Structure 1
Amino acid sequence: MPSFNSIIIENIIESIDVGLMVISREGRIEFLNSAACNILNLDRKKHLGFGWGELFITDAVFNAEFNQVILDVISEQKAGLKHVVPYAVKDMECPKKLSITSSYLTENNEIIGLVFLFDDITEIYNAEEREKKALSRNAELQKERIEGLDSLSQAVAHQVLNPTTVIGGMANLLSRKLPEEDPLQKELEIISEEAMKLEGLVAAVKTYSNIPKPYPSEINTVQLFKEALHNANLILERIGERIEMKLDCEVETIIVGKKLFEAAIVELLLNASNFTPEKITDVGIEIKKVEQTIQIRIMDHGMGIEPQIMNHVLDPFFSTKAKGVGMGLSRVKKIVFEHQGKLEIESPGNGLGTTVTIDLPCPDADCCPKGNSFN
C-alpha cells in the first residue's frame, strides 16, 4: 500500500499543468504525468517503459530540435538549461512551442535518471510573435510617415521659398520708392514681416527634411549632456536666461550620433526654458537602464502642457507660441526615431512641469555600470 507521502506527491505531480517525464539511465521512460501525455500526445499505459529514442526518433527530420535537446542532456550532461523548441504532433497543422527544462535524478550522488519538464507556451509564443509583427509594422508605418513628411517638406521648401523671397523683396522695394509718410508704408511693413515669417518657416522645414542619418559611436554620456547644456546656455545668454541642470546618470556611455543627438538634447533644453517664466530654468535629467533600454528622462518645472493639446505637441507645424514654427519637437522625434528610439512627453497640467522620456535600445546587457552624477 503506498505511503501517505507518496500519495500526496503523486497527486501534486498529477495536478500541475507542466509536463514531467523521467528517463532512466538506460534510456527508458519511467514516469509520465498527465500533463506530459497531453503536451507530447502520448498514452501513459502504452508508452511507459519505452526507450525514448524508439518513441521520438522516427526519422532524421521530424522533431529534430526537440530530439537534439534530449540527446544533449544525455550525452553532454547539459542539464539545468531552458530551451524553446517546436514540437510537431501528427495530424496537427502547426507545431507546438515547448519550453524544456532538464535536470538529473540522483541517489547517493549517482545519476540514476534524467528529469524533463515540458511547458506548452504556444499561445504565449504566438502572442509575442504577433506583438513583434505589430511593433515592426508600426515602425514601418512611422518610417513611411516620416519619409512622406520629408518629401512634403522638401516640396514645400522648394515651392514656397522663391515666391516668399519675391514678395518680401517687392514689398521692400515699394517701401523705398514711397515717401516715409505714405499711409501704404504700414501695409508694406506688414507684408515684409509676414514674408520673413514664411522664410523662417521654410528654413525650419528645410532643416527638418535635411536631418541626416546618424553615424553612431560610443560617447561618454555625462560629457555629451554637459556639452548640450553649454550649447543651450550660449543661445540663452543673448536674452539673459540660463538653464541649471541636475544630472543623475547611471549609464557611462551611450551609442549615438554625437552631433545629431546632442542637437536633440539642446532643443529639449531650450524648449524647457521657453516654457518656464523664470530667467533661470531648473532641469533634472535621469539616465538609467530599464528593461534592456537606456531611458533618458528630462524634467522641468515650467508651465506644463494642457491636456487638450498634449496629443498635438509632436505634430509638425504645431506651436503655442505666436512666433513659433512648431518644428522643434518634430525634429527631436525624428532624431530619436533615427536612433531606433522612442519619444514620449507627459505633463500633469498647467504649472506642473513637463517630463520628456527617450528610450534608446541598449546594445549590451552590461551597458549601465555604477552611477555618476553632478549638479
Structure 2
Amino acid sequence: MQQCDGSFSVSLVQAVFERLPVGIMVIDPTGTIVAINQALCGMVGLNREFAMGKGWVDIFEIDHKNLAFHQVLIDVIHGELPFLNRSVSFERKDGSFVDLGILSSFIKDEGKMLGIAIILQDMTVFNARHEDERGSLERIATLVNEREVALLNLAGAVAHQVRNPVTVIGGLINQLLREAEVQTSQDRLEIIREESIKLEGIVKELAGFVSIHVHQPEWVSPLSVFSEWLTAFQRDGTDFTCTIKSVADCSGGGVSDEAGGEPSGETLLWADVALLGLIFAELVANTRDFAPKELAPAAVLSLCKNSKTLRLVYEDNTNGIAEHILPYVFDPFFTTKSSGVGMGLCKVRRAMMVMGGTARLLPAAESGVCVQLEFPLGQGGSDAR
C-alpha cells in the first residue's frame, strides 16, 4: 500500500463525504453546523451554503411540524447518548414529506464534548413499498377470511337444505319396512335406511362444524373445565378414566415428567368454555371408540407452559394411528371405522383455530394417540395467575 500524504487523505475523506448516498451533518459544541453534505441538504430541502456555519436551531426552525426530528437531537444532547437510532417523518419547507432514518451520536473525548454527528437515510421509497406489501398481505388475508366464511355459509346452507329431505326419507323407509312382506324387499329397504341414517349423521356433523365459533370467551382454568366435564361424563355411565397432571415447564414437543411440581398460581386460558368442552368430548369419544376391547378407555391430560405458550397434551391408551394415515386424521369425514362420520379431530382443530390456538399430533410415549393443544400466552391467549 502506498503512503498517502495529508492533503491526499483530506481530499479522499472529502470525496467520500460528498459521494455517500446518506446525509451527514456534524454539529460542534456551540450548536453550529460545521459539516453537511449535499445528500442531507437534498433530503430535508436545505441550501448548503446557507446552512454552513449557522446554528442547527436557526436552520431547522423548531416548530410543531418537525418536533420528532428535533427531539432526536435534544435527546442525544441531554442524554449524551453515544448511539441513537430512530425513524421520523420530516416536512420540508415546500410542504412535501420524507421518511427519515436517523442515526445520531454524542461524541466526546476525556469527558469533553466534541460535537454531534447526524446520519440520515431517506426511507420514503422503502416505507412506501413496505406499506404496499403490508396492504397486499392484508387484502390476501381478507380474501382468505371471506372465502372461509363463504364456504362455512355454503356448508351450513347445504346441511339445512339436506336435513328435511333426509328426515322425510327416513320416515318413509320405516313405514315401508313395517308394510313390506317379502324378505328381499325388507333387506333392500334396510340398506336404504342405514345409508339414510349415515347421511343424516353427516348433515348433523356438518351443521355442528360450521357453528363452531367463540361465543363467550372468559378467563377459565382448563383443568377445572375438564374435571367438571369428566365428572358429568362419568355420571352418565361412560367407562372412562383420566389422570390429570400439571408440570411446571415444558419445552420442545411434549410434556416432560422431569419438570415436576405444580405451577405457581392458577393457570388460566382466555377461551370459550363450551369450545373447551367440545374439544374434550371429541378427544374422549375418539379414545372410547378406538380403545382395545381388553382395556378400559383411559387417558392422561397434562398441562405445561413456557414463556410463549400454554400446552394441553392428551395421551390415551388406544392402539395408536398407522403412520400412512397420519397426514389425514384432521381432514373432514376421514375415518377408519365402518361406522361414524370422521369429524371428531377435524372439529378439535377448528375449535382450537377459532380460539387462536393449534392442535397437532405428537409421537406417543407408548402405543396410544397423543394430541397437543397449544394456546398463545398473553393478550387474547392465555395467562398464568
Q: Distance in 2 between matches of 1:276 and 1:129?
A: 53
Residue range with higher mean Cα deviation, 159-168 or 75-84 = 75-84
Which of 144, 157, 160 is the equivalent residue of 1:158? 160
Residue number in structure 2 paired with 1:332: 348
| Pairing 1:322–2:338 present | yes
Task: Map 1:34-183; keep pairs closer than 5 Å.
Answer: 51-53=55-57, 64=66, 67-73=69-75, 82-86=85-89, 95-96=98-99, 98=101, 100=102, 104-106=106-108, 113-114=115-116, 132-133=134-135, 136-179=138-181, 182-183=183-184
In structure 1, what is the equivalent of residue 206 of structure 2? Answer: 205
TM-score scaled to structure 1, two decimals?
A: 0.66
The alpha-carbon distance between structure 1 residues 216 and 313, as it changes in their structure 2 partners (threshold 3 A), is same
> Could you say if the C-alpha distance between residues 229 and 77 of structure 1 is closer, same or farther in structure 2, counting changes exceeding 3 Å?
same
The aligned counterpart of 1:288 is 306
Matched residue, 1:5: none
Contact 1:23 1:115 in 2 (8 A): yes
- Counterpart CA distance in 2 for 1:114 and 1:34 is 18
Deviations 1:68-101 (A, max 9, x none): 43354268759576533346899xx995552x46
| Distance in 1 separating the partners of 2:180 and 2:71 | 91
Count of residues paired in the alignment: 350
Q: Which amino acid is the alignment partner of residue 186 of structure 2?
A: Q
Q: Does the 8 A contact of 2:24 with 2:36 survive in 1?
A: yes
Note the C-alpha offset of 1:204: 1.4
Unaligned runs of 5+ in 2: 6-12, 250-265
Match of 1:303 among 320, 326, 329: 320
Larger gyration radius, structure 1 or structure 2 = 2
Residue identity opposite 2:168 in structure 1: V
Question: Does the residue aligned with 1:183 lie in a helix, a strand or coil?
Answer: helix
Q: By how many angstroms is 1:143 displaced?
A: 2.2
Q: Find the counterpart in structure 1 of residue 257 from structure 2.
A: none
Structure 1 residue 24 and structure 2 residue 28: aligned? Answer: yes
Q: Secondary structure at the match of 2:306?
A: strand
CA contact (8 A) 1:276 1:303 kept: no
Question: 1:67, CA displacement in angstroms?
Answer: 1.9
Structure 1 counterpart of 2:204, one-letter code? A
**Structure 1 segment 355-374 matched on structure 2, within 5 A:** 355-360=371-376, 362-363=378-379, 368=383
Alpha carbons 2:352, 2:359 under 8 Å: kept: no
CA deviations 1:26-63 (Å, max 9, x no partner) are: 223457899999998999999775543455569975xx
Contact map agreement 2:333 2:341 (CA 8 A) in 1:
yes
Retained in 2: the 8 A contact 1:233–1:242?
no
Q: Which amino acid aligns with 2:208?
A: T
How high is the TM-score relative to the length of structure 2?
A: 0.65
| SS at 2:338 equivalent | coil
Map of 2:254 onto structure 1: none
How many Å apart are 1:126 and its aligned residue? Answer: 7.1
CA-CA distance at 1:108 after TM superposition: 6.6
Q: How far apart, in 2, do the equivalents of 1:297 and 1:336 lie?
A: 11
SS in 2 for 1:317: coil
CA contact (8 A) 2:25 2:40 kept: yes
Q: Is the alpha carbon distance of 1:297 and 1:218 closer, same or farther for their aligned partners in structure 2, counting shifts above 3 Å?
A: closer
Amino acid at match of 2:184: P
In the superposition, relative to structure 1, how do residues 233 and 183 fare at CA in structure 2: closer, same or farther (>3 Å)?
farther
Aligned residue runs from structure 1 range 243-254, under 5 A:
243-248=242-247, 252-254=267-269
Matches within 5 A, 1:187-226: 187-219=188-220, 223-226=221-224
Tell me the alpha carbon deviations over residues 143-195 of structure 1, each in whole angstroms, 9 at most, x when there is no partner: 2233123222222222211221122112211222235x833333222222222
- Quote the sequence identity (%): 27
CA contact (8 A) 1:285 1:299 kept: no
